Amino acid sequence: METRQQKVELARRALAHLDIRGTDQAASTMELPVTLYNDVNRFNREKQAIFMELPLALGLSIELPQPGSYKAMTVMEKPILLSRDENGKAHAFINACRHRGAPVCQEGKGQGKRFVCPYHAWQYGLDGQLKGIYGSNTFGDVSPATHSLTELPCAEQSGLIWVCLTPGKTFNIDDWLADFRPELDSLELNNWHIHEQRWLDGPGWKVAWDGYLEAYHHNTLHANTVGRYTIGNLMLHDTYGPHQRLVFARRTLAEMKEQTEQDWDPDQHLRQIHSVFPNLSISGVLGDHCLVSHVFPGPTPDSTRTLQTVLVAKEPVTEEEKTASDAFSATVLQAVQEEDYPMGYKIQKGLAAGGNKVFTIGRNEPAIQHYHKWVKHFTEAKEAVCS
């Protein structure tokens, strides 16, 4: 749990910027060739090196609340199955029967004891082990050692289920998170409740993701949604290897100047965003509501799919609580689906038309600069985290 003193220090930093209309800054501007956004060959190399070979947080632990829980979904054209076995251990598999490749589980969430292929009724346990074959006396000899579900590297940490999408790879989640792990632990994701969850189509990966990494556009693009509550172009920026923590200030921040520090309640005036490389954003917009966004590249550089999950501190019971949670959910949906992503599509039209040869990333956009440096690092590195 983040200490009060740590939150007070963040408030001090934000107030110092408020007085001079400042923000945390990079050392200089950065120029990014637009080919980094729309070149197909570059996109394919980055997608392989980053999204196929690094650990991805594919789910929240609370999505598999008990033994027997499962979740099936498609991630970047791969059918994925997450499950929690009888001993409480989380697993990840390719959702494909080892007989003829049919999915053994329909997309969605549920509870069960076995996965049964709808094509020829082969059966698998929650741990992926082959448990039975229909007509086994006529099929021939098949061993669970060779015909169990194809398992993917999987670890559970900080309320998230981490998976590498390439079979046979390995990763160490402690090494991957390093000093960012206490930051994630402080969110106590296991104690939240899922209010709503939905998939959104969006523009290309980098065009979409850049928007999650700065507050520079809040006053203009989001004037009627999140911009009503946050101070545009004021951001605190801290890095943890490839991962980042951003802090936006709410428009109520100035109220703290009228209080003594011992009376401060930083949570009421600061919004923390934990950005997990390469595609997870956990945004505590309000103290009792949280937005979790997984942004996955599509098959081409100009498309993405975003899994947007709205969390609440506790399940809404009263009409007032339900109304508040529904309103929060509607606001964040509008900000992304009707503001951020439509703007992203327009940006891509400009790219295709040759409007820019480079994008200039400002000193006041340090998180975007940091992100693109790490994309380059992992793409060009000879050895990735997964080995």
Q: What is the mean pLDDT of residues 61-85?
A: 98
Q: What is the mean pLDDT of residues 149-168?
A: 98
* CA–CA dist 308, 327 (Å, integer): 15
pLDDT of 285 higher than 90: no
| Contact yes or no for 281/212 (Cβ under 8 A) | yes
- State residue 286's pLDDT score: 64
Per-residue pLDDT of 220-269, as tens digits, reads 989 888 888 899 999 999 999 999 999 999 999 999 999 999 999 999 99
Beta bridge partners of 123: 116, 132
Residue identified by tokens 């082969």 is 122
For residue 82, which of 68, 71, 73, 94 has the smallest C-alpha distance? 71
- State residue 383's pLDDT score: 43
| Contact yes or no for 203/347 (Cβ under 8 A) | yes
Cis peptide bond N-terminal to 278, omega within 30: yes
pLDDT of 59 higher than 90: yes
DSSP string, 237-301: EEEETTEEEEEEEETTGGGGGGS-GGG--GGGTEEEEEEETTTEEEEEEETTEEEEEEEEE-SST
The count of other CB atoms within 10 Å of the CB of residue 23 is 24
Residues carrying CATH 2.102.10.10, the chain: 56-170
**Domain 56-170 top-level CATH class:** mainly beta
**Domain 4-53+179-380 top-level CATH class:** alpha beta
Q: What is the mean pLDDT of residues 182-205?
A: 96
CB contact set of 259 (below 8 Å; sequence gap of 6+): none
pLDDT of 291 higher than 90: yes
Q: What is the mean pLDDT of residues 278-300?
A: 92
Q: What is the mean pLDDT of the chain?
A: 95
Q: For residue 101, is it left (φ>0), alpha (ψ between -120 and 50) or beta?
A: left
- State residue 227's pLDDT score: 85
For residue 171, name the pLDDT band (cuts at 50, 70, 90).
very high
Residues carrying CATH 3.90.380.10, the chain: 4-53+179-380
- Amino acid in the structure at residue 109: K
Whole-number Cα distances in Å, 196 to 63, 128, 212, 287? 12, 29, 20, 17
